[in-house]
Amino acid sequence: MSILSPEQQAIKQAAKEFVAKYIIPNAVTYDKTGEFHPFLLEASRESKIFAMAVPKEYGGLDYDALTQALVLEEWGYGCAGMGTTLAASILSMDSVMVAGNDDQKRRYFTPMINAEIGAFGLTEPGAGSDAGAGKTTAVKTGDEYILNGTKCWITNGGFASEFVIYALTDPAAGMKGISAFIVERGLPGFTIGQADHKLGIRSSSTVELFLKDVHVPAANLLGKEGEGMKIAMKTLDMARPAIAALSVGLAQRALDECVKMVQARFTGKNYPGQTLSFKLADMQIQVDAARLSLHNAMRLRDAGVPYSKESAISKTFCSDVAMQVTSQAVTLMGSAGYASELGKFMRDSKIMQIYEGTNQIQRLVISRAVLTPAPAMAAAQKAGK
């Protein structure tokens, strides 16, 4: 188990209490209806938890990466769908953190402190794993850019007040022609599609976005033209461990609920034998190892050293563990498990292996790091490559 400071323990405990009060009692209902959860944003406003990734100079809580992961684990423990809302908002903020200037940070982060949410618009119908293949364009005219294109699978899109949208300012340059923009909800020509119906994380909002001649002030360009792909990659390095954290929470919850069911079913002479109890032990081994891989990535990030590989490892390992542990929990409880909340945990786990870069893409990132000598990789990352 990772050693936490007293402050981290207090923040974790507060998150646990918040989740027990607001998330756990509502998770099953919202999973059934597939509705989004504005009530939770309302409840979060007071705790300012959506501000945990915002630096103090912009009025935020400025938690370090490890502490943010502790909170996200608790949200994942309560409901991975609701946790996804928080994680996706931080994902969009990360792009502004990576490349925003002072004014952009102030404008983007201020609503987040009041529990408004953001969305990250990179994926397109023809550009998912191949993130550099997007077709959305941004043409500069005077002091504006005019954006045209379609984004898909955009988490929080239905309810976000602000978006980070990636678009080609120089289509001929391919991925070196991608740029990143802050786009506010409600601009003429910016429309939101129907909510997608999903296997899991059903209370989170996932939509298509349509941009038709959307005029965006040039002041909303993040960094410089052509820096979009690098901004996106750095953003995803920062954000992928959030999925690892949700996964750890999800896996721990499935294990805890499974243990309760085992204890209720097997009493006295029927107490589970080693066949079953050793499986529970294996599940706890997996969850603990996953948590440590997450904390390792977060400690590296907090230390300011390169952590792309460890970010990808934590995302892959933790989400694979969530899938295995939740599925095992259902298997152990049989029909009772299949008909219980364990089934929700299993459904919620699948997306953890898919979004914010599939685990196949993570393996690409990890294998490149493994095959590249460490000093060369560190130098490349230090140079912003």
Q: Which residues bind ligand COS (CB under 6 A)?
A: 120, 122-123, 129-132, 175, 229-230, 233-234, 236-237, 308, 355-357, 361, 364-365, 385
Read off φ and ψ for residue 152, nearest 5 degrees: -135, 165
The residue (of 252 and 311) whose beta carbon lies closer to ligand COS is 311
Distances (CA, A) of 155 to 117, 286, 342: 10, 28, 24
Q: How far apart are CA 165 and CA 121, in angstroms?
A: 5
Residue number, nearest CB to ligand COS: 357
Closest to 218 (Cα-Cα) out of 154, 279, 138, 149: 138
Residue 167: name the closest of 221, 95, 110 by CA.
Answer: 221
Of 279 and 363, the one with the shorter C-beta distance to ligand COS is 363
In whole angstroms, give the CA distance from residue 181 to residue 9: 37
Say how far apart CA 287 and CA 153 lie, in whole Å. Answer: 28
Q: How far is the CB of 234 from ligand COS (least distance, A)?
A: 5
Minimum distance of ligand COS from residue 366's CB (angstroms): 11
Give first-to-last CA distance, the chain, whole Å. Answer: 34
> How large is the C-alpha radius of gyration of the chain?
21
Q: Which is nearer to ligand COS, 233 or 259 (CB)?
A: 233
Residue 3's region, left for phi above 0, alpha for psi from -120 to 50, else beta, is beta
Q: Which is nearer to ligand COS, 147 or 239 (CB)?
A: 239
To the nearest whole angstrom, how small is the minimum distance from the Cβ of residue 16 to ligand COS?
Answer: 27
User: Considering beta carbons, is residue 175 or 292 the nearer one to ligand COS?
Assistant: 175
Instruction: Tell the smallest beta-carbon distance from residue 368 to ligand COS (Å).
Output: 7
Half-sphere exposure of 58 (CA within 13 A, CB side): 26
Q: How far is CA 275 from CA 79, 257, 330, 331, 346, in A?
A: 30, 18, 16, 13, 22
CB of 356 to ligand COS, least distance (A): 5
The residues annotated as belonging to the active site are 356
